[in-house]
Chains A and B, each alone.
Chain A
């Protein structure tokens, strides 16, 4: 295939050539970045929580009035009994928060009492002796809390439990040698001894600001007994989730009606919790996907339109070439190669544009650097798209009969 005649022919169609190349370039820039955003968001929302999600649901029960800490603690324990007796319930634990909740208690962890800079941030989970079993966490070192070690406290009390359980991520950060159990860490209220280590438990927020301590959590052997209320995390036997969820609210109200359980988010299965937590990530991924697909379609349509126009303009020249002995295949190749040259120029420009656009997003939206794989993928997609779009007009061109050479307009 001779490139030279194609180039001289393109010189006569400067505008169209430029427009197709520009479209390819811009599309590449946007599609690359859109795919990259999808990849990031999907990676983000596939991070594991470390808990037995399919069989868990969460109840948010708020108290009416202002019962004191002692009274609240008694009511929490009664509620736990009520929930335990429900059919299908395997285990229950009270807590101040849970993974993917989005907010709660985060605090600074230090290794020495007089340290000014934190060693790490961590999510603080209040728990009783059922916390680990209820969430389905895996203890990798040390032990669980015993029932007699569980205390209770108000939100404004000193946070200084005698012992804590930490996640492996936090243990590894604080004690890289892997000997965290038995060591002392300092919470805001004072020292605590690490008695156990769980494999994986995600922090309560998956937002950007909390990413510094994403899997670093501390489990405190205290029930947080406050007038605002408490979360009850319930684990059900497989397949019993819906039944238990329906029964839970009724049973709690029957036992003690002086409480509020919101209709829309008072009782949530963990799959609902997950979808709420990642709403915007999932939405962004969907939006970017739709934009990419429509954009590729629009670009393909544009190439089809312009190439058809060129074929129409050049019917006579094509006829002349056929009359002089060019085969159909030659004509087809001519148009395919022409498109490849234009698209090639377009993707070169597009790669530059994609990088510029990504750089702009990095500086403005805490985005990561575009990875090379996406650029290469985008280039391949667009070259194929160009070839695919030009196929129909090129086939039509190849079917121009040699007799066209003898016709005038």
Chain B
């Protein structure tokens, strides 16, 4: 029976083609607009590290005080002084500090241009904290951190570029005239948005290509390739060393805490540290610290670009209008067939039959709208680069789940839109229709 309904539905699509085409177009456009913007939104607002986002935290310490901080919030990174204090205290199961570095690669072949490889100066815990996958070798150990050793982990892509993809562990590379020993090659790993370095606006940056020990980078005076924020007060210094000891923030801190008890303990430790600093005369305000997990951090930093939210909101409004439109057109289409309904009812069709018939027809319209919507979505994906930054546009993909969602939204939305027109159709009085007007 259901198949018969669908067949009748398909046949009725061919009747008054204009109305049907209008409906299919309106559903297609509405669904496509929503899907394209949703794809972008999904890409930029996803959880970049779902298995650990509730156990990784950013500890922040207010080194500016109520007079200079923004809206009472501590700055979004740490000073070298505070970063070192947290590392020394070692109060979390794992902890790391990081800042971006850009190192120059001079190829041996003089025909190749030198290029910058960007990455991070960090601690050995980085790789275990963020579940970094390895193609060859592994990260370095805490012994290398302490010894400020010139070791390096490079990415699969950089390894491909420099060593043709061979296992390069144990080999040496020269970056900015410094010789590093390769200890590991990461597999493709590029969490988006890059939650661990929001301070340097690297949310959607190209994948990192290398990692070197933080301790080595500082010992070698390798300057940050990212931001350095000095606020408006406090010592800045006027040389490398005095800058290092000054109140400028430039280091992103991360700690891993397994449960609520550890989180509470860490908060208490941070407050205790801030009180010590106050007693030592460095701060003259009450402890004002923050400890946010990955999702809270992304949220606080407004990681989702406003463009993506605005366009998603407007597209959903757009879909609603298209559906209101569809309700009107379906009403017109169904009520045109009042005489036919009357005849069917007089011949013994129940209201339920009418419902089935017309909802099946609506589903067919939705199906056609979904197919058109898919084509438009695919076209829209190509045009994404016009609207969003290329790094963001690249993230949005038309994958199987999006195709499925497109069809599902198209069909279910149309069927929901069809409820009122169908109800009206089922209310048709057989006797009225059988009389001539």
Give chain A's interface residues, CB within 8 Å of chain B: 15-16, 19-20, 22-23, 26-27, 29-30, 33-34, 37, 62-66, 103, 108, 116, 118, 155-158, 188-189, 226-228, 253, 257-263, 279-280, 282-284, 286-288, 291, 294-295, 298-299, 301-302, 304-306, 308-309, 312-313, 316, 357, 361, 364-366, 408-409
Contact = CB atoms under 8 A, between A and B. Distances in A.
A409 B339 contact: yes
Contact of A19 (B29, B113, B114, B331): B331
Given A116-B233, A312-B336, 18 more contacts: A15-B331, A26-B321, A33-B314, A37-B310, A63-B104, A65-B177, A66-B177, A118-B232, A156-B239, A158-B238, A228-B225, A260-B115, A284-B307, A294-B318, A299-B321, A306-B332, A309-B333, A309-B336
Interface string B7-28: 0000000000011001001100
Given A34-B314, A63-B104, A283-B386, A291 B324 contact: no
Nearest to A409: B437
Interface string B89-116: 0000000000000101010001001111
B22 A302 contact: yes
A30 B314 CA distance: 7
B437 A283 contact: no
B294 to A, nearest CB: 22
Q: Which 3 pairs, one residue from A and one from B, show the smallest C-beta to C-beta distance?
A: A309-B332, A283-B387, A158-B238
A266 to B, nearest CB: 10
B433 to A, nearest CB: 9
Contacts of B243: 156
B233 A291 contact: no
A16 B328 contact: yes
* Residue of A228, A263, A287, A304 ringed by the most chain B CB atoms within 10 A: A287
A34 B26 CA distance: 19
Contact of A316 (B221, B310, B325, B437): B437
Residues of A contacting B: mostly: helix
Contacts of A16: 328, 331-332
B30 to A, nearest CB: 7
B317 interface: yes
B281 to A, nearest CB: 18
29 contacts: A19-B327, A29-B317, A30-B317, A37-B310, A65-B104, A66-B177, A66-B220, A116-B233, A156-B237, A157-B238, A158-B238, A261-B113, A280-B389, A283-B307, A283-B388, A284-B311, A286-B387, A294-B29, A299-B325, A302-B324, A302-B325, A306-B328, A309-B19, A309-B336, A312-B336, A365-B310, A366-B306, A409-B339, A409-B437
Interface in B218-246: 220-223, 225, 227, 230, 232-233, 236-240, 242-243
A155 B238 CA distance: 9
Contacts of A408: 436-437
Contacts of A20: 328
B67 interface: yes
Contacts of B339: 409
B318 A309 contact: no
Contact of B329 (A253, A283, A305): A305
A29 B322 CA distance: 14
A263 B227 CA distance: 23
A189 B437 contact: no
A27 B318 CA distance: 8
B225 to A, nearest CB: 7
Nearest to A105: B228
A299 B106 CA distance: 60
A155 B232 CA distance: 17
A403 to B, nearest CB: 15
B305 interface: yes
A103 B240 CA distance: 22
Given A155-B223, A305-B19, A366-B306, A26 B176 contact: no
B387 A62 contact: no
A339 to B, nearest CB: 13
Query: Chain B: interface residue count, which band?
Result: 35 or more
A155 B22 CA distance: 63
A108 B231 CA distance: 9
Contact of A280 (B22, B318, B388): B388
* Residue of B29, B318, B321, B333 ringed by the most chain A CB atoms within 10 A: B321
B176 A287 contact: no
Nearest to A22: B324
B336 A298 contact: no
B25 A280 contact: no
B309 interface: yes
Nearest to B436: A408
A69 B317 CA distance: 57
A64 B306 contact: no
A46 B126 CA distance: 44
Contacts of B25: 298, 301
B223 A361 contact: no
Interface in B404-437: 420, 424, 436-437
A249 to B, nearest CB: 9
B201 interface: yes
Contacts of A295: 318, 321
Contacts of A27: 321
A263 B113 contact: yes
B329 A306 contact: yes
Interface string B30-74: 100100000000000000000000000000000000010000000
A30 B318 contact: yes
Contacts of A357: 317
Contacts of A279: 389
Contacts of A226: 223
B104 A62 contact: yes
A64 B106 contact: yes
Contacts of A227: 223
Contacts of A304: 22
Contact of A301 (B223, B225, B309, B325): B325
B250 to A, nearest CB: 11
B209 interface: no
A260 B114 contact: yes
Contact of A291 (B33, B201, B227, B333): B33
Nearest to B309: A365
B223 A228 contact: yes
A302 B33 CA distance: 18
